[in-house]
Amino acid sequence: MATAAETTPKTDFDAIVVGAGFSGMYMLYRLRDLGFSVRVFEAGDGVGGTWYWNRYPGARCDSESYYYCYSFSKELLDEWEWSERYPAQPEVLQYLNHVADRFHLRPDIQLNTRVVSAVFDDASGRWKVTTDDGKRYTATYFITAVGCLSTANLPHYEGLEEFQGTWYHTGQWRHEPVVFTGQRVGLIGTGASGIQATPEIAKQAAHLYVFQRTPNYATPSGNRPMRPEEIREIKAHYDEIWKKARESMGGFPFDSIEKSALEVSPEERRRIYEERWQQGSFRFLNSFSDLLVNKEANDTIAQFVRDKIHEIVKDPKVADLLSPTNHPYGTKRPPLNTGYYETFNRENVTLVDIRNAPIVRITPTGIQTTENTYELDSIVFATGFDAMTGTLLKIDIRGRNELTLKEKWADGPRTYLGLAIHGFPNMFTITGPGSPSVLSNMPVSIEQHVDWIADCLAYLRAQGIARIEATQHAEEIWVAHVNQVADQTLFPLANSWYIGANIPGKPRVFMPYVGGVGNYRKICDAVAAKHYEGFEMAQAIAI
Ligand code: NA7
């Protein structure tokens, strides 16, 4: 007969982790390996995070498959084979499901469960966590692994509820097949998602209207099937690949370039841009060392892209509209594409400028702008996310003395290293604001954060420390450093989601750390080596 302990579901853990994407699953793996009890709560009915939700047509990773994956297991690296240079969404999701099975993660992941609140209880020194089914749990550590782009941004348009067709958001795509054959489709948004979805929807739709507020610099991905010999070569050199990625600026295993765009002749510069344009990938942005810090250098690459757009797009007026001029290249995350600009040469595709003629309302049968009305069967919102803070702020998180995260971040996010927050003891934010996160190759940054947190928790246990909290002073210095580094770059010149500009009313604060993945790792390692400098710790009280 089962004992009471066996039949009563466990509710108290060493750590509660929110999210079962790349970061939550690796956090679980590391902590369980160290002997901690862990429960991961995941809102979706499957693992995969971003790759579970973003199922829109054309959804594909913009980092190359051989480094957009975990590095922690040699066996996993050896046995997994990517089929394409950039994996499509189903393949990344398949990979993450394989990881969940391969490392027996599923028993500790509770699906279909959204964390609604997490409150630090001063008296017990534990986090009290409530889920959307009303159940309560406690944990010594509360770790968020919610991703940086996980709360969809659905702009408020009057009339949407009366729209008689069907509408979709790229970041919350339906799981049943969506077919646009024969339909008039309106797509709003020309970020990475809109740029990937446009060519695919255009192939199906009777007519596609792309509603563009800001043109983007899309460069070719150069996607193709992986070749057996390159797979062998990559697998034989993984140690060097990861070393390079971890020490790099952006977490990508690219050679670092020392040359300024301005120290070569215009012909040589063009040759280099052309070569990298043909190669595809973010190597294009890596053409010269100063593209993100010197506007004059940046102008050269921006002009190169604009020239390419005019070469590809037949109608000069459309090419002009598609050519970005209001932000330097790379200061918004530069989308990679397959056939995006070519799509505007199709008869069944129309680019609609909503910068000069904004959307007024959604009508029952379409979209009305200040200039025109478009009759539509479907609307696709490719309007992005409430990035980096949106998902954290949706959870009612309260630290010491009932301080809410909303109050704490009323003027924008403040963290120490993007990992911890003053006032919120024993809480860690994987790829939180103030860390390289979205400005880097995510798996590399995720592994670094997870390893740092796992090592920290092992240290605390070994030292008998019950409570750890970032000091206000350390947090202030870090926030100032993040801003100072950003101000030395061109990033603040763009109205991007890096700065919260896409969400009306969101405080304008530059959120990612742009000082480089390699430098950042050194800083975090030094903090740990100095017995977690910048943190206050309290010993466990022996009873
Ligand atoms: P992004 O990059 O935030 O793009 C969203 C797009 O939607 C962008 O073109 C926005 O124009 C547009 N947008 C947002 N709100 C509105 C409103 N209210 N009206 C009109 N147009 C709007 O999101 P994605 O999903 O494409 O990509 C996110 C990341 O996912 C990407 O960087 C990769 O890392 C993967 P705006 O530029 O704000 O004028």
Taking Cα atoms as reference points, which of 255, 253, 257 lies closest to residue 242? 253
Query: Measured from the CB, is residue 172 less than 6 Å from ligand 1?
Result: no
Question: Cα(64)–Cα(478) distance, rounded to whole angstroms?
Answer: 31
Per-residue pLDDT of the chain (543 residues; tens, 9 = 90+): 444 445 678 999 999 999 999 999 999 999 999 999 999 999 999 999 999 999 999 999 999 999 999 999 999 999 999 999 999 999 999 999 999 999 999 999 999 999 999 999 999 999 999 999 999 999 999 999 999 999 999 999 999 999 999 999 999 999 999 999 999 999 999 999 999 999 999 999 999 999 999 999 999 999 999 999 999 999 999 999 999 999 999 999 999 899 999 999 999 999 999 999 999 999 999 999 999 999 999 999 999 999 999 999 999 999 999 999 999 999 999 999 999 999 999 999 999 999 999 999 999 999 999 999 999 999 999 999 999 999 999 999 999 999 999 999 999 999 999 999 999 999 999 999 999 999 999 999 999 999 999 999 999 999 999 999 999 999 999 999 999 999 999 999 999 999 999 999 999 999 999 999 999 999 999 999 999 999 999 986 554
Closest ligand 1 atom to Cα of 195: 26
Indicate whether residue 159 lines ligand 1 (CB < 6 A). Answer: no
Residue nearest atom 36 of ligand 1, based on CA coordinates? 214
Binding site membership of 149 for ligand 1 (Cβ less than 6 Å)? yes
CA angle 12, 17, 18 (to 5 degrees): 120
Torsion of CA 20, 24, 28, 30, to 10 degrees: 150
Measured by CA distance, the residue closest to atom 32 of ligand 1 is: 333
- Counting from 1 in the atom list of ligand 1, the atom nearest the Cα of 190 is 9
502 lines ligand 1 (CB under 6 A): yes
Rg (CA), the chain: 24
β strands within 132-226, DSSP E: 136-144, 166-169, 184-188, 207-212, 219-220
Cα 512 from chain centroid? 11
pTM of the model: 0.97
CB atoms under 10 Å from CB of 420, counted, come to 27
Two structure tokens written together for 265 = 């002749």
- Ligand 1 center to 59 CA (angstroms): 14
Indicate the CATH number of 10-151+387-538 among 3.50.50.60, 3.40.50.2300, 1.10.3720.10, 3.40.50.10320.
3.50.50.60
3-state secondary structure 284-335: HCCCCCCCCCCHHHHHHHHHHHHHHHHHHCCCHHHHHHHCCCCCCCCCCCCC
For residues 286 and 292, give the distance between their C-alpha atoms in angstroms, rounded to a whole number.
10
HSE-up of 130 (CA within 13 Å, CB side)? 10
Q: Domain spans of the chain?
A: 10-151+387-538, 160-381
Closest protein CA for atom 4 of ligand 1 = 191
Per DSSP bridges, beta strands 373-375 and 366-369 are antiparallel
Our mutation pick for probing the ligand 1 site, out of 213, 327, 381, counting the most ligand atoms within 8 A of Cβ, is 213
In the reported structure, the alpha carbon of residue 505 is separated from the centroid of ligand 1 by a whole-number distance in angstroms of 16
CB 364 within 8 A of CB 163: yes
Q: For residue 191, report the distance from its CA to the centre of ligand 1, in Å.
A: 4
Retrieve residue 508's tokens. Answer: 């304008």
